[in-house]
Structure 1
Amino acid sequence: MMFGRGYYDRDRFFMHRDFYGITLWHVLIAIGVILLIISIVLLMTRKTGHNERKDTNENLKRILDERYVRGEITEEEYKTKKKFLDEN
């Protein structure tokens, strides 16, 4: 009979004795989902240091140029700071 303790056995498919419905597969799937979420968050928030550094240097050079044009720094200071930025 298919509805007895054979084919559709509830204990066999869901309860697994003392686990109250939580099986090893449930635990593995939950761990997999958690790892997937963590990896997605890390990939979305991670920034590459190389591109960020290049952008920072470009912004600093632009600010330095603006300060020189406005007369906030002398030509000597401008050249010294620009040389420093070019080296880094």
Structure 2
Amino acid sequence: MRKVNLLRCDVARDASMQDLFSELRDTRVALSQAYARFNAVCAPELVDACVYEINAELSRYDYLLRQIKERSGEAVYKTCSEGVAKWG
């Protein structure tokens, strides 16, 4: 698998890319905070809530990363509803 340097794309001139990178950074912070909360709670109900929050933040992070890759012209792995993998 080839590594992609997303910072090489011309972000400074593209406001929408700047917004995506900003949202990605904010989501990474929120994910870190969600993991910290998960490590601090003891009640089973709160553990469930933390797991839900972590999964939601991971989904958002994956979505934003796919959007950045698509806009930078990189191939992005997609999964169809039938479970067939394809490259978009």
Fold match by TM threshold 0.5: no
Q: TM-score, normalised by structure 2?
A: 0.41
Which one has more relative contact order, counting CA pairs under 8 Å at least 6 apart?
2
Query: Which structure is higher in helix share?
Result: 1
Structure 1 or 2: larger strand share? 2
Q: Structure 1 length normalisation: TM-score?
A: 0.41
Q: Which has the larger radius of gyration?
A: 1
